[in-house]
Structure 1
Amino acid sequence: MSGELTGMVRLDHYLDGPIRNGFSPVESADWTGVQMLGLGCLTTDGFEPRQLKNAPHGIRSDHAALLRDGDLLLSRANTRALVGLVGRYRDIGSPCIYPDLMMRLIPNDRCVPDFLEHLLTSAPVRRRIMASAQGTSESMVKISADSVKQLKVPLFSVADQQRAVEVLDAFDARVEAEIGALRKELSLWDGVINGQLSWHAQKFGTSSLRDVSHGGGAYGSNAAAVASDLRMPRYVRITDIDDQGKLSTDASAAVSIPWESARQYLLSEGDLLIARTGFTTGKTYLYQPEDGVCAFAGYLVRFRINPERMLPEYAFLWTRGQAFATWVARNVREVGQRNISAREYNQHQVAVPPLDVQEELVRAWRAARASHSLRQLEIERLRVLRQAVSVDLLSGKVRVGDVA
């Protein structure tokens, strides 16, 4: 940078006006022309418009919670690992309000908006935010506007802020390019797998999910999670499963369940979990021993696939296919919270080709997954490097001009 940092300031040095919470009215069953964000729109990758609801009638054009393109949002309540997530709102094509569990931060003329987002997502500041959160359970803690305003952050000139943003945005562009290439690979593979699964159903017929499993679907534990403890089983929740059906490797987001509550919900090799509620109803995960000792939570349904009828990996592939996604969309109940019961999942029809035919598709999937994993490793390498550069830049340890 142009010089050494001149010190630390409170975050509100960079902010204009008060930090305000949003508004959380009762969701409308009908389209009203105005939408509202769900808490899940703030992710570890920033803002994603993936959890939208219909706002009720009566939201005026001057409502205090209406968003503008570029507004910076911060979640004020979540698990300790996820509280304080930050994202820049991007116009979704219709008026939108933000909920009470988010705060809106408005930068002043001493702050470049993109710099503020980079600053709040940097590892040191994230740790301070998580440490300031309070609550009686690790599964729901909150941060106050005062604790956010009082965060100690480095003081930068506007010129140095802009140069830091350019460096970090260049890293983000490299990551996005790799993610785009991975998505293209996954899309091509999805086409192959859906074609094969459709042909299998037509040629070999189907059976219910219950018939290819031992005992049908079973609900998970309703016990409260505790802080992650390697002496206890990991507690697998819907939020621990990523979009590719893998268990999150983010240790900071993991929680545990005491042994006395876990025993009847422990997972075994080949167990298939299906989300039964929420916006990701139908998301699936196939347990692997390398994921460690795990038990599953109540919003998931477990199927113990019978390997004499179906390979567990084939069952997982089926639930990643279009036929299953279409069935979920048709059967999910939208009244109240989205839901599909274990009884309904039991009745879902899956293709049942001979085991050798199943094995052929599973082998192809394993090869494709290996290729995808290499691409994912490169993405993670770039993200780690980007985070290290972010820490060094935003702490003043290195100058922008020293970063290649």
Structure 2
Amino acid sequence: MPGDVWSELKLSDVLAEPIRNGYSPPESQAWTGVQMLGLGCLSAKGFNPVQLKNAPGSVSVMHPAILQDGDLLVSRANTRTLVGMVGVYRDVGTPCIYPDLMMRVRPSKRYLVEFLELVLRSPRTRRRVMAMAQGTSESMVKISGDVLRQLPVPDFSVDEQRRIVEIINSFTELERGIEASIAKFEALRSGLIEELAELECGLFDAVLKQGPQNGIYKPANSYGLQGTPIVRIDSFSRGKSDFTRGLLRVAVSGDEVARYGLEVGDIVINRVNTLDLVGKSTSVRRLTEPTIFESNMMRCKLRRSAAEPLFTETWLGSSVVKRYFLQRAKSAISQASINADDVRNCPFPKMGLLGQLAFLERLNAVDDQRLAEVAELAKLRQLKQGLVDDLLSGRVAVSAVAA
């Protein structure tokens, strides 16, 4: 009856052969005719052969771990959020084996492998797998073959399985269309940013009112949940930031707040970090209370008649500035640094304030369209996730959706 909750089997009831772990021999530098999958070939979106290595010559095409097109693969070890990732292996053109950190599942003819992939990827099953994974560290937990064999599988006919897969695949196609649209807007945004590279530049110092000034140093044991919020190197990425929440706090005096306090419109530049992150910058958009910045940062105050903070933030995140800071950075063991002179001598476009605002208007128009698509994708994925649970539980009849 439509809407009835379907009976369930266990995964062990629908197998054509036992679940098997893979094999992880040493990688060969030479081509041997057989390749090995890496764990990165499984993700939330299924199987994708993005991580292939050469197997040693001792692995023949007759090895038990050689995969067949349509084999179902499950990661048995990973972080808690990634353990149990599942995907259907598709022939990559050369014989492949799968690693020891994956398990291979081959269902009987009564069950479609695409349907089982859907079941094992469903929110209900994912919650169960993550709860049952075990390990001493959240960065590496494992599930056993026993856990996999005990997972519930809805008792649907092959025709019903096929219809459910078709329904969910139709949502997946819609997702791909929106993802392609998002990628188009991201490429358009990147193209706009690259236009800045063609501009004639002077020096950043020409638009500075004050700074660069290093922040305040406080020992690690000074940080906590009480005191004045402090911006640290992990408080922001490149570009837009939010300093109104999530910051650690530190006890400081009124004089220290006055000296190291941030104001809306300030530019904060990371002066010490790894080589790829040194020089990352952001503008201060909003503050809800006095907030200071730590010694790994530099604060710059702009002449607002010459430089718009959001344009400056965008420029400092451009490829031109990234290359400049990479060239000027002084490397040490595991970190690199830039100084105040590096910041002052950073190139800055000879563009008036009106030109900067016009550029931001174009950039914001693209960002608004991209964010609208991102929101649409989030809604579609939420609907799809709920529908998967409803269909697999029987709360929604397959015929009702198919119609």
1:25–1:55 Cα contact (<8 Å) kept:
no
Partners in 1 of 2:19 and 2:3 — Cα distance? 31
1:280-306 CA-to-partner distances (Å, cap 9, x unmatched) read 999x9979989xxxxxxxxxxx87675
Equivalent residue of 1:378, what SS? helix
Let me know the Cα RMSD of the aligned residues. Answer: 4.8
Partners of 2:240 and 2:116 in 1: CA distance: 32
* Higher Cα Rg, which structure: 2
Query: Greater shift after overlay, 140-149 or 346-355?
Result: 346-355
Residue 397 of structure 1: SS of its match in structure 2? coil
The residue number in structure 1 matching 2:175 is: 175
1:369 counterpart letter in structure 2 = D
Specify the code of the residue in structure 1 equivalent to 2:109: D
Measured at CA, do residues 71 and 28 of structure 1 come closer, stay the same or move farther in structure 2, by a change above 3 Å?
A: same
Q: 1:276 to 1:397 in 2, by over 3 A?
A: farther
Preserved contact between residue 202 and residue 347 of structure 2 (Cα < 8 Å): yes
* Structure 1: tracts of 5 or more residues without a match: 222-232, 248-255, 261-267, 291-301, 329-339
Partner of 1:381: 379
Asked whether the equivalents of residues 286 and 313 of structure 1 are also in contact (C-alpha less than 8 Å), the reply is no
Query: Do the aligned partners of residues 304 and 145 (structure 1) sit closer, same or farther apart at CA in structure 2, a change above 3 Å counting?
Result: farther
Q: Which segments of 5 or more consecutive residues in structure 2 lack a partner in the other structure?
A: 205-210, 221-229, 251-261, 287-295, 327-332
TM-score of the two chains, using structure 2 as the length reference = 0.66
1:26 corresponds to: 26
> Is the alpha carbon distance of 1:177 and 1:167 closer, same or farther for their aligned partners in structure 2, counting shifts above 3 Å?
same
TM-score with structure 1 setting the length: 0.66
Q: Distance in 2 between matches of 1:29 and 1:138?
A: 32
Partner residue of 2:348? 352
Cα distance, 1:148 vs. partner? 0.5
Question: Cα deviation per residue 1:27-82 (whole Å; 9 max; x = unaligned)?
Answer: 445555544333233222222333x1432431322233333333322121222222
1:131 aligns with 2:124: no
State the distance in 2 between where 1:68 and 1:40 align. Answer: 19
Return 112-121 or 154-163, whichever deviates more: 154-163
Equivalent of 2:370 in 361, 369, 372: 372
How do residues 3-402 of structure 1 correspond to structure 2 at under 5 angstroms? 4=4, 7-29=7-29, 34-50=34-50, 52-58=51-57, 59-194=59-194, 196-200=195-199, 203-204=200-201, 306=300, 308=302, 342-343=335-336, 351-354=347-350, 356=353, 361-402=359-400
Work out the CA distance in 1 between the residues paired with 2:161 and 2:310.
51
Equivalent pairs, count: 339
State the shift of 1:109 in Å.
0.9
Contact 1:35 1:55 in 2 (8 A): yes
Q: How far is the alpha carbon of 1:151 from its aligned partner?
A: 1.2
Identity %: 38
Do the aligned partners of 1:78 and 1:139 also contact (CA within 8 Å) in 2?
yes
SS of alignment partner, residue 74 of structure 2? strand
Q: Does the aligned pair in 1 maintain the 2:2–2:394 contact within 8 Å?
A: no
Quick one: which amino acid aligns to residue 390 of structure 1?
V
Q: 1:36–1:324: structure 2 CA closer, same or farther, 3 Å change rule?
A: farther
